[in-house]
Amino acid sequence: MNASDNQMNGAESLVHTLIDSGVEVCFSNPGTSEMHFVAALDKVAGMRCVLGLFEGVVTGAADGYYRMKDKPAVTLLHTGPGLGNGIANLHNARKAGSGVVNIVGDHATYHVEHDAPLTADVEGLATPVSSWVKTSTSATDVATDGATAVAQASTYPGQVATLILPANTAWEKSAGPAQQVTALLPPKVPTSRIESVANVLRSGEPTAIVMTGYCLRAEALETASKIAATCGAHLFGQTSNARLERGAGRVPLRTVPYPVDAAIKTLAPFKNIITISAKAPVAFFAYPDKPSSLSAADSNVHVLAHANEDCVDALNELADLLHANTATPILQNNPVAVIPTNNNKLDAHNIAATIAHLLPDNAIVIDESITAAVPLFQETSCAAPHDWLQICGGSIGAGFPLATGAAVACPDRKVVALQADGSGMYTLQALWTQARENLDITTVLLSNRAYAILKHELKNVGATTGDHAGNIALDMMELNRPDLDWVALARGMGVEGGRATDVNSLVVELKKGLQSEGPYLIEAVL
């Protein structure tokens, strides 16, 4: 701290503290209450600022950034309504275990009593999607609160921390930056629990291991595969995962299916379910005459590691107890998919084969393909090594923002976004940010011009009988009258692109995108 620190306002002390705490990126959509924070970003060097044209883009990008960087970015949001616009992707971030620091500007402390138009219960809005929420009460508290927010966001496996910054605490004089607060290390799993799980695996009973979190990184997956090979267990990832390292030379991993009937059938043979950072498998929704729990009624669930515990350490200790380290892990060695030679119209299968063949080494794949997700996931397992990121909270509109944040985090890696058209319309403003930042993202926009998943769900929940629904119901699931022109939408945001209607044109367009060093969108018409 130097002599000029005493002349800092609260916003400047906060920016200094965030940078000193290791925060390098601010995804922002500011308003009047945040102007002193915005000005501080000019005065204090060291923070990259990325503008999003909608708060859901900002919060989703922070989620994608954390998944690839393993450190939080900060978001800058405007009062309660701005936070409200970003809540859906904060929900996704919370479910993914992503660390995010939200700075939410608010009215000056003395202005709140006047109930101005933007007055809102900001803490009430933030609490359901945050693990830590605080409102700074004076400029002298802001820096310390900011350092604490970063530590909270960095708490394993990652948490959403929301700091509410009344305008006067940003413009009034502060005492200068605060020292970094060290995040707590994750607790180790008790040895007794690891021994108990080892006994389950030694029993010889049919056992499934369901994992998520850091155990889905390549090295930990190899350890899990050795354990499974030693004990005859079966490995699964949970249905949706924050980040899965997969592809050629890595452990292939099945995930618990989304459809209830398929999930029940998959898990039916297993007497024991061992969870590692995951919850016991449950259905996304309740369906008439179907169970919420997906495992067999007579099965037993055993927790190796809760989400906040060191799952990788527990996995290593389990392998030691079972003498599994000398086992050979099962690795993906299937030949790379061949591009279909027939020039058929596009479907999920030939799109998957084409992507699997052309995907570059070390790519980051963002999956918001919705109804095409199963074949795209299964048929790209033989592609070059890559990371696969999914929506963990089920709130659509995450794909474009996740890709944006991942590309900011890893500028040296190609990002490939598999994006359904209906969910893409929630946050297409992210394309503008991709163009402005010249991010290396190739988007394959799956254009079936429908909320196709809802057509399945209309029947699944028993809202209709047979295969037919009424015209009013179906009309709410069709994206036509007019058709969306995704190439025009992308170009309107500054992103080049093209349309593919068959295998040959998809190959041409995908090669263009992969050779580009900036954003490129391919509308793949199904």
Residue by residue, pLDDT tens for the chain (526 residues) are: 443 445 899 999 999 999 999 999 999 999 999 999 999 999 999 999 999 999 999 999 999 999 999 999 999 999 999 999 999 999 999 999 999 999 999 999 999 999 999 999 999 999 999 999 999 999 999 999 999 999 999 999 999 999 999 999 999 999 999 999 999 999 999 999 999 999 999 999 999 999 999 999 999 999 999 999 999 999 999 999 999 999 999 999 999 999 999 999 999 999 999 999 999 999 999 999 999 999 999 999 999 999 999 999 999 999 999 999 999 999 999 999 999 999 999 999 999 999 999 999 999 999 999 999 999 999 999 999 999 999 999 999 999 999 999 999 999 999 999 999 999 999 999 999 999 999 999 999 999 978 888 877 887 888 876 566 788 888 888 889 899 999 999 999 999 999 999 999 999 999 999 999 999 999 999 9
- The residue range of the domain holding 49 is 3-171
> Would you say residue 422 lies in a domain?
yes
Structure tokens at 59: 């919060």
Residues 18 and 162 in one domain: yes
The CA distance from 313 to 24, in Å, is 29
Residue 395 neighbours by CB distance under 10 Å: 18
Beta strands 244-246; 386-390: pairing state: antiparallel
Supply the pLDDT for residue 2.
Answer: 45
Residues 308 and 358 in one domain: no
Sign of the C-alpha dihedral computed for residues 42, 47, 51 and 54 taken in this order = negative
CA dihedral of residues 465, 470, 473, 478 (deg, nearest 10): 110
> Would you say residue 329 lies in a domain?
no
Residues 299 and 358 in one domain: no
> Would you say residue 343 lies in a domain?
no
Residues 163 and 251 in one domain: no
Residues 51 and 167 in one domain: yes
Residue 448's identity, in one-letter code, is: N
> Would you say residue 185 lies in a domain?
no
Supply the pLDDT for residue 209.
Answer: 98
Q: pTM, whole model, 2 decimals?
A: 0.96
Residues 262 and 312 in one domain: yes
Residues 488 and 405 in one domain: yes
Residues 500 and 366 in one domain: yes
> Would you say residue 282 lies in a domain?
yes
Task: Check residue 484 and report its DSSP letter.
Answer: P
